[in-house]
Amino acid sequence: MAQILAIDYGRARCGLAVTDDMQIIASTLDAVPTAKLVDYLRGYFSSNAVETVVIGLPVDLKGNMSEVEIDILRFIEVFEREFPRIKVERFDERFTSKIASYFISQSGKNKKQREQKELIDKVSATIILQNYLEKK
């Protein structure tokens, strides 16, 4: 089997998480500036077997898409051209940032560490991926 990678896509930065090769456990990977995401993924895919990328679907409580969805759709077009063999799936990301902030606060991190946006993005991607695995 190959890994599954999740992306919590943001306009400035993207949180990344990845499974083990058996696709059992989701772990944080990195937070990458959005402008450098494709280059980062190119490097990661060159040394790791990834079969699926799960990208968060930013839906609000009423079922409306967030404004960042337009940017995500553009990214998916680029991704599919660049990496045609890797399947792209979408997964609801509602509340992941709030849940990530809660988990981080419960982890014993100090206030400065808890407010690091990169950490929240990575944990959010991990939550998206773990929820995806549980639903799969």
Query: How do residues 73-115 score in pLDDT, each as one tens digit?
Result: 999 999 999 999 999 999 987 656 665 555 555 555 555 554 5
pTM, two decimal places: 0.85
At residue 95, the pLDDT reads: 58
Considering Cα of 47, then 24, then 35, then 113, what sign does the dihedral take? negative
Domains of the chain, first to last: 3-94+124-135 (3.30.420.140)
Angle CA 78–80–84, to nearest 5: 140
Task: Give the up-direction half-sphere exposure of residue 91: CA atoms within 13 A in the CB hemisphere.
Answer: 26
